[in-house]
């Protein structure tokens, strides 16, 4: 059958019709197509930007949209891209497709994540011998136990402690930090391992207890809740010694105090040492730990905040955290004793009340120091009384009860001390004086310093110059934290790394020296988190 061609006039009419319809009917279609093009270009630009960021900023500047999908990139380029992403994002990436999942088994990716996220500097290629991959190390060791890294305080009654959990090579190790032997406050910290976690020849991490002297043995770690975990030893017989409790005590005494019981002539100190051994050894390394943070610092702080070792009479050396809170500075015990437990505030310093002490010869007279400090205390009491009267609470607070009210010169008014502070109140020590002139703390200048006659000090090798001093209070109490009370004292700033405190009522001098150690994973996420942490550790022993 022949097919007749449509007349030209018909074709012209159809073209004219389509042309007539174009403005009205195709405008919307053109708009939709334009939007799709814009969205497509934006998506391509986002993808290009993501790839550029993953590759460390390669190809800076405007580039044409990529003409291939991510799947079409060469494997070596994908390895580099994936290795630059956080390890926590990679499992989701592995679910995209088989190709991504296969590439994510490349050990180069996980070796980089172990190094950049957890600081593993070991030659991870050694793992090939054991059959454990870097991916296993990341997923089953580092990532799984990441929540226990950082600083912790063990719940050992009043004694507390300082635990630092770190990645050490191919291990995660919990190191207990111990002060140097009394009274050598400037010596470096000591430390011993309590537990370790490693991944060697198995496909799951192994927890081992390191307590005792018979080598690593079976242990267990349980993450109780956020910022809290516990350890348990499953073979406590490894903690026992063949010589029984006497041998265990002698060994502990040498490690804890660096001496024998016969070397300690003070009967009260012997009782305190024996009491601590009996109390702490009953835990058998089955402990609960709560996270602590290092104090945040500001440029205008008197000195850099942080951890310090301090002398505490018959209790030996203890660890204190110095932090700044506006016009106040506080020293919080990280380790403690039966009188003032860990978590309590051992000293509090009023940074608005500088104390101008007389010359060295006058300071040798303890009564002169006492007069100056008690004048300041009476002034503080009167200002607090006026503030309470102004608020309608004119009853007063008799617990301050100054023993020697004296006239005092006017000084800046400050808010009342917010919380208690703490010093070991074993009653045998005495407070010391330290003169400090009105000079800038960071000026490097100093004034001669000497302890008044009759003031006791565990360490006679204290600094003989100081920069400045402030009025402060210290907490003393009876055994078992009974009848705690705040007593006046003097905070003495020696230099950036050392300060002292005068316990006026006890006639005792405590010297503090900075803990010279670097701690990872110990920064507070916010100032509020740090304040909350201080309240929590104090409430446990209140």
pLDDT recorded at residue 17 = 43
pLDDT digits (tens, 9 = 90+) for 463-476: 999 999 999 999 99
Same fold, 71-121 and 300-380+448-540: no
DSSP assignments along 165-201, one per residue: EEEETTEEEEEEEEPPSTT-TTSPPEEEEEEEEE-SS
The domains of the chain are located at 71-121, 146-288, 300-380+448-540
pLDDT recorded at residue 180 = 94
Cis? peptide before 183, omega within 30° of 0: yes
pLDDT digits (tens, 9 = 90+) for 176-223: 999 999 889 999 999 999 999 998 766 789 999 999 888 999 999 999
Tell how strand 456-457 and strand 508-514 pair up: parallel
State which fold the 71-121 domain adopts. Monooxygenase (1.20.1280)
Distance between CA 209 and CA 314 in Å, rounded? 31
Q: Average pLDDT, stretch 380-387?
A: 89
pLDDT recorded at residue 542 = 63
- Residue 412 is encoded by which pair of tokens? 């800046």
State which fold the 300-380+448-540 domain adopts. Lipocalin (2.40.128)
pLDDT recorded at residue 269 = 87
Q: Give the 3-state DSSP-derived string for 197-225, with helices as H, strands as E and coil as C.
A: EECCCCCCCEEEECCCCCCCEEEEEEEEE
Percent of the chain with pLDDT over 90: 51
β-bridge mates for residue 491, sequence order: 470, 501
* H runs (alpha helix) in 263-321: 267-281
Q: Average pLDDT, stretch 251-258?
A: 89
């Amino acid at each position: 059958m022949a097919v007749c061609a449509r007349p030209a006039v018909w074709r012209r009419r159809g073209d004219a019709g389509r042309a007539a319809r174009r403005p009205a009917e195709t405008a919307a279609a053109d708009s939709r197509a334009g939007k799709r093009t814009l969205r497509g270009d934006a998506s391509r630009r986002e993808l290009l930007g993501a790839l550029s960021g993953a590759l460390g900023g390669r190809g800076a500047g405007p580039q044409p949209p990529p003409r291939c999908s991510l799947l079409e990139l060469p494997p070596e380029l994908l390895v580099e891209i994936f290795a630059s992403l956080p390890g926590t994002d990679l499992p989701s990436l592995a679910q995209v497709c088989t190709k991504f999942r296969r590439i994510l088994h490349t050990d180069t990716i996980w070796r980089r994540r172990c190094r950049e996220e957890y600081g593993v500097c070991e030659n991870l290629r050694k793992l090939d011998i054991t059959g454990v991959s870097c991916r296993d190390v990341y997923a089953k060791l580092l990532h799984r136990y990441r929540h226990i890294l950082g600083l912790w305080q063990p719940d050992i009654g009043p004694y507390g402690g300082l635990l630092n959990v770190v990645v050490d090579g191919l291990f995660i190790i919990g190191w207990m930090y111990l002060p140097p032997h009394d009274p050598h406050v400037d010596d470096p910290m000591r430390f011993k391992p309590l537990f370790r976690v490693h991944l060697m020849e198995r496909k799951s991490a192994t927890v081992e207890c390191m307590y005792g002297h018979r080598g690593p043995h079976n242990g267990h770690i349980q993450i109780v809740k956020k910022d809290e975990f516990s350890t348990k030893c499953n073979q406590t017989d490894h903690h026992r010694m063949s010589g029984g409790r006497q041998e265990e005590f002698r060994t502990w005494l040498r490690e804890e105090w660096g001496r024998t019981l016969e070397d300690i002539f003070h009967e009260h100190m012997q009782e305190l040492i024996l009491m601590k051994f009996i109390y702490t050894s009953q835990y058998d390394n089955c402990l609960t730990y709560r996270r602590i943070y290092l104090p945040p610092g500001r440029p205008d702080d008197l000195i850099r905040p942080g951890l310090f070792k301090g002398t505490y009479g018959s209790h030996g050396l203890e660890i204190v955290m110095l932090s700044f809170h506006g016009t106040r500075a506080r020293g919080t015990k990280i380790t403690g004793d039966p009188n003032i437990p860990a978590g309590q505030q051992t000293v509090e310093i009023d940074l608005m009340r500088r104390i101008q002490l007389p010359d060295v010869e006058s300071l040798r007279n303890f009564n002169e120091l006492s007069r100056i400090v008690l004048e300041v205390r009476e002034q503080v009491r009167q200002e607090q009384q006026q503030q309470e009267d102004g608020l309608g609470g004119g009853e007063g607070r008799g617990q301050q009860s100054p023993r020697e009210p004296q006239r005092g010169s006017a000084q800046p008014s400050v808010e009342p001390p917010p919380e208690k502070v703490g010093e070991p109140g074993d009653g045998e020590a005495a407070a010391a004086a330290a003169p400090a002139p009105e000079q800038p703390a960071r000026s490097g200048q100093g004034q001669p310093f000497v302890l008044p006659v009759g003031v006791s000090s565990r360490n006679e090798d204290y600094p003989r110059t100081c920069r400045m001093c402030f009025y402060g209070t210290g907490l003393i109490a009876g055994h078992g934290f009974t009848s705690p009370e705040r007593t006046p004292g003097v905070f003495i700033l020696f230099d950036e790394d050392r300060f002292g405190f005068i316990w006026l009522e006890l006639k005792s001098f405590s010297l503090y020296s900075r803990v010279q150690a670097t701690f990872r994973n110990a920064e507070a996420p916010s100032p509020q988190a740090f304040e909350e942490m201080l309240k929590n550790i104090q409430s446990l022993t209140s």
